[in-house]
């Protein structure tokens, strides 16, 4: 799967609640930081407890609100449907169902007394998603290459590159420059690849084939075209480690971006920091050597003795 839940952004963004949707009340440990070890499936995931039941949730910075539970996930933790509100998404008008969560525990922190969306996540082996309202309530840090995430505090940012960010419906947005043109992007850990819309990118693309893509509407075979970009910059510096696939409507910095660049976000002050990747380099695979012809005399000679190093 190359992209997950990109359309969830628009689906939840236009919800018009007739009833108040409660946001969580957070309780952090005395040191003020919640620490998570990420498990990577098609997107990063964490283990949480909701109402005492253990669930696997995808970490989705592109998911608006507190998050999503699948009907199966909601049944596991005894979260029933509380109310339904009209919504407007990519597929037109619909309804968005919310359930009530008494307690969510994860990373040493607790979130209480809030509503969460309930909907199917077709093609995804997850119990749900944890969304932007929880992830960006306090300072956020993610090092996807080393599978680490923290909420509440960030590392020392003195050596990182600071970039202004903005909030669009709770998401973290940044501007990048593509061949000199400014394009707004959403930082989306729920997208396994980065995407650029055909409305923003008018240049040439390279056809890469067809791959299955999962969204809230199901799994479809999608044509993959990679954008041919000459110059790519963010915050005035070159943006590396990212390849954009062209999409009909979405502009997303996905998990390839997050693997190449650990990030810290302080949403209240609208600041984002890019760090150099600290991931250990993969071992270099040496090319196989050509077989050597060993002289017959060498086969019968005694092997050289190892010399003990001086002590």
288-306 pLDDT tens trace: 443 333 333 333 344 443 3
pLDDT digits (tens, 9 = 90+) for 40-51: 988 999 999 999
Mean pLDDT of 146-171: 94
Give start and end residues of each alpha helix (H) in the chain.
8-13, 71-76, 132-135, 255-260, 296-300
| Local structure of 185: helix, strand or coil | strand
Chain CA centroid to CA 220, Å: 21
166: tokens are 């903005």
Dist CA 33 CA 141 (whole Å):
11
Which residue do the tokens 């109402």 mark?
Answer: 51
Q: What is the pLDDT of residue 281?
A: 53
Chain CA centroid to CA 202, Å: 26
Dist CA 21 CA 130 (whole Å):
16
Q: pTM of the predicted model, to two decimals?
A: 0.81
Could you tell me if 129 and 191 are in contact, meaning their C-beta atoms sit under 8 angstroms apart? no
pLDDT digits (tens, 9 = 90+) for 239-271: 999 999 999 889 999 999 999 999 999 999 999
Could you tell me if 129 and 68 are in contact, meaning their C-beta atoms sit under 8 angstroms apart? yes
Domains and CATH numbers, the chain: 8-151 (2.40.70.10), 161-274 (2.40.70.10)
117: tokens are 């969306």
Could you tell me if 117 and 69 are in contact, meaning their C-beta atoms sit under 8 angstroms apart? yes
pLDDT digits (tens, 9 = 90+) for 225-238: 999 999 999 999 99
């Amino acid at each position: 799967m190359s992209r997950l839940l990109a359309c969830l952004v628009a689906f939840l963004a236009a919800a018009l609640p007739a009833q108040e949707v409660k946001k969580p009340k957070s309780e952090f440990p005395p040191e003020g930081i919640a620490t998570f070890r990420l498990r990577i499936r098609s997107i990063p995931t964490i283990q949480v407890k909701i109402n005492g039941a253990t669930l696997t949730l995808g970490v989705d910075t592109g998911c608006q609100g507190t998050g999503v539970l699948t009907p199966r996930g909601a049944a596991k933790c005894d979260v029933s449907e509380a109310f339904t509100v009209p919504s407007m998404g990519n597929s037109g008008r619909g309804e968005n169902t919310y359930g009530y969560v008494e307690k969510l525990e994860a990373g040493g922190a607790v979130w209480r007394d809030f509503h969460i969306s309930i909907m199917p996540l077709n093609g995804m082996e997850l119990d749900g998603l944890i969304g932007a309202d929880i992830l960006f309530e306090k300072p956020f840090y993610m090092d996807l290459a080393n599978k680490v995430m923290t909420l509440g505090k960030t590392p020392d940012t003195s050596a990182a590159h600071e970039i202004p960010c903005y909030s669009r419906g709770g998401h973290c947005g940044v501007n990048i420059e593509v061949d000199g043109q400014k394009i707004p992007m959403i930082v989306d850990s729920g997208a396994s690849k980065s995407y650029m819309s055909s409305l923003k990118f008018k240049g040439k693309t390279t056809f890469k084939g067809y791959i299955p893509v999962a969204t809230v509407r199901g799994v479809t075979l999608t044509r993959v075209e990679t954008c041919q970009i000459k110059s790519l910059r963010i915050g005035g510096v070159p943006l590396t480690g990212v390849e954009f696939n062209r999409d009909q409507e979405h502009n997303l910095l996905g998990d390839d971006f997050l693997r190449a660049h650990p990030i810290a976000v302080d949403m209240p002050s609208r600041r984002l920091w890019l760090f150099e990747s600290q991931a250990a380099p993969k071992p270099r695979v040496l090319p196989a050597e050509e077989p050597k012809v060993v002289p017959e005399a060498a086969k019968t000679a005694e092997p050289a003795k190892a010399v003990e190093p001086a002590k």
